[in-house]
Amino acid sequence: MLAAQSDEMRTKGDALIRQADRLLCEIWNERMWADGEPIDPSPKVDQALNGGFSWLEIECSRCQTKREVNLAELPHVETTCIHDLATRLRCQRCAKGGKRPRATLLQLAIGRRHTAEVP
Ligand SMILES: [Zn+2]
């Protein structure tokens, strides 16, 4: 009986945390849409994933190429904040030319909108 109650409370708690994480992502998105800054503070990668936002849309600050990053596929970055990714995610096209421009963060997304990765 008490165990069932505990399970029920935990399930409700998980659902609340998921809602809180989704809200964090929505707040951050609205800031990106409005001004594009400040990017800090931002949700952590695991909060974005928990909130259902699995994709991060970025744009190269140099060549303006857009791409989407699957947050779930990033290695060992569950506690990394989204804004820290701006300096870590590199444009493949510019990297070939020896440039390392930072990424402009556009928004978190639930699904993928653009289809192809830049070859
Ligand atoms: Zn580029």
CA separation (Å) from 94 to 51, 69, 119? 32, 17, 12
pTM: 0.86
114: confidence class by pLDDT, cuts 50, 70, 90: low
Question: What is the distance in A from the centroid of ligand 1 to the CA of 117?
Answer: 13
Summarize pLDDT for 96-110 with one digit per residue, the tens. 999 999 999 999 999
Indicate the domain borders of the chain: 2-109
Nearest to 48 by CA among 56, 40, 39, 58: 56
Comparing 13-22, 31-40, 66-75, which segment has the lowest mean pLDDT? Answer: 66-75
Question: What is the distance in A from the centroid of ligand 1 to the CA of 116?
Answer: 15
Question: What is the distance in A from the centroid of ligand 1 to the CA of 59?
Answer: 8
Summarize pLDDT for 51-65 with one digit per residue, the tens. 999 999 999 999 999
The two counts, helices (H) then strands (E), for the chain are 3, 3
Ligand 1 (single-atom ion) residues, CB below 5 Å:
60, 62-63, 65, 91, 93-94
